[in-house]
Chains A and B, each alone.
Chain A
Amino acid sequence: SQKIEQNSEALNIQEGKTATLTCNYTNYSPAYLQWYRQDPGRGPVFLLLIRENEKEKRKERLKVTFDTTLKQSLFHITASQPADSATYLCAPGGDTGRRALTFGSGTRLQVQP
């Protein structure tokens, strides 16, 4: 069956460091992968989308990679700030023509000042 794995344990880093979050998927051939941020009590907010033919995508301090051979996406936040503390969700999509997203369980990031 299809499976999306994100580190269930929280990631704690110091302000200014680079945070790297991992998303692994199995039994999927996604055409794209989206990353969302979710704060407590709020709905997810879209951050980045990367397509299967793109190796890397950047947006300000964010960088996403997509390795279809390893079936893995890495999400990086450089020069992290306490305001980056949140849960980050990955969502591979487009594998079966479905429009709806299938989300991982998310990784909680805590940036210490």
Chain B
Amino acid sequence: GAGVSQTPSNKVTEKGKYVELRCDPISGHTALYWYRQSLGQGPEFLIYFQGTGAADDSGLPNDRFFAVRPEGSVSTLKIQRTERGDSAVYLCASSLNGYGIPNEQFFGPGTRLTVL
């Protein structure tokens, strides 16, 4: 009965480096979302997966950001050539499905990314 887990909880990297952030959704949840949250702001949508496919990636800020979910469970958010402006808390959420009646989203604790 574990909730959504995210690793690492904290990541400090240098400008220009590549980072991967991992999300383990609740078992059986087919929908998975990535958001990022800056201090004092609400979560900002990045990408949504329904199963293995990215159903909506309109929130990705640019082509340095990419996410995968190859087996329809675990997802990895990948950021290339990190910039200081990428520093934020990256949140992952899952919901039972992505169709029909809107489901509540269950959020993980987030990964705090700091780009020096």
Residues of A within 8 A of B (CB): 4, 8, 31-32, 34, 41-46, 49, 89, 91, 93-94, 98-106
| Residues of chain B lying within 8 A (CB to CB) of residue A34 | 102, 104
| A contact residues around B110 at 8 Å (CB) | 42-43
Given contact pairs A100-B45, A104-B42, A44 touches B107 in the complex (Cβ within 8 A): yes
In this complex, how many residues of chain B approach chain A with their Cβ under 8 Å: the count is 26
On whether the beta carbons of A99 and B102 are closer than 8 Å, the reply is yes
Q: Is B115 close to A, CB under 8 A? A: no
Contact flag A94-B40 (CB < 8 Å), given A99-B56, A100-B45: no
Binding site for A on B (CB under 8 A): 4, 31, 33, 35, 40-45, 48, 50, 55-56, 59, 91, 93, 98, 102, 104-110
A45 to B4, CA, bound (A): 12
Inter-chain contacts of A98 with B (CB < 8 A): 48, 56
Report how far A44 CA is from B110 CA in the complex, Å.
10
Find out whether the CB atom of B31 lies under 8 angstroms from the CB atom of A106. no
**Docked CA distance A103–B50 (Å):** 20
